Amino acid sequence: MILENPRKLTHEMQYQKETGRRLEKYCWMKNIVCNKSAAAGMKKMGFTEKRLYKQFQVAFYLACSAHKGQCDKAGLDYICHPVAVALYIREHREPSKKRDRAMVTAMLHDTLEDTLVTENALKCFGFSKRIIRAVVLLSRKEGEDYEIYLDRLMISRLAMIVKCADMADNENLNRLEHPSQRDVNRSELYRNGRLRLERQLQRDTTFS
């Protein structure tokens, strides 16, 4: 009789739960953004400023359209990732205009790097200069050294907040059905990068 590896079974269960959670988060947010009034949506999402919630709605629609047809490493619709990043910020930051701005940026953080959306398009959609600047900084250039990329983010507190949330999501191995050693190594790289940025955020609160 061949016994199943209990660690493998445990991971499979965690993967199934995580996949379900990610889909639930997306459906929850979609229902709020698409079906609730602005006032109700602001309350549900915890936004403090109506103008920024309106930008968040536009960011959600744009991200859904731009990432359509793309899948993440787990095979889910890619939109589940920016949704997870935005909700991570919602859960780990106190309500404020800065948190509002970070959630908008989170929805857009991969659009310049991974889709056909351009910086000019973001301007046309009416996003603020601060948000566009952060999205540009978050977009890693082809062939760019990872440490140089992280150094570049440190000129923007907004970019660092979103990147920490991004890496927290990416380092979660439960979102992968069969994580390889390469995935484990990548997760550790993300964790180290996140801790580095979090230390920088704690040291300097004077810049935006």
- Centre a 10 Å sphere on the Cβ of residue 184 and count the other Cβ atoms it contains: 13
CB 149 within 8 A of CB 175: no
The first and second tokens of residue 42, run together, are 């602001």
Is 88 domain-assigned? yes
In a domain, 90, yes or no: yes
> How many domains is the chain partitioned into structurally?
1
Question: Is position 37 within any domain?
Answer: yes
Question: Rounded to the nearest 5°, which phi and psi values hold at 71?
Answer: -125, 150
Residue 158 inside a domain? The answer is: yes
Asked, for residue 10, whether it belongs to a domain, the answer is no
| Beta strand ranges found along 69-154 (DSSP E) | none
Specify the pLDDT at position 208: 54
| Residue 8 placed within a domain | no
Q: Are 190 and 149 in contact (CB under 8 A)?
A: no
**Looking at residue 40, what is its pLDDT?**
97
**Looking at the domain assignment, is residue 91 inside a domain?**
yes
For residue 183, is it within any domain? yes
Cα atoms found within 13 Å of the Cα of residue 89, Cβ hemisphere only: 32
d(CA 91, CA 195): 18
From the list 113, 71, 86, 99, the residue with the least C-alpha distance to 169 is 86
- Whole-angstrom distance, CA of residue 90 vs CA of residue 99: 7
Hey, is 139 helix, strand or coil?
coil
CATH number of residue 88's parent domain = 1.10.3210.10
Q: Is 71 strand, coil or helix?
A: strand
d(CA 96, CA 205): 15
Burial category of 13 from C-beta neighbours within 10 Å (exposed 0-12, middle 13-18, buried 19 and up): exposed
| Rounded mean pLDDT for each run of 10 residues along the chain, 208 residues in total | 54 90 97 97 97 98 97 89 98 97 98 97 97 98 95 96 98 91 95 96 72
* pLDDT at residue 6 in the model: 53
pLDDT in the model for residue 2:
44
**Structural domain boundaries, residue 154:** 17-203
C-alpha 104/C-alpha 165 separation (Å) is 13
DSSP state of 175: G
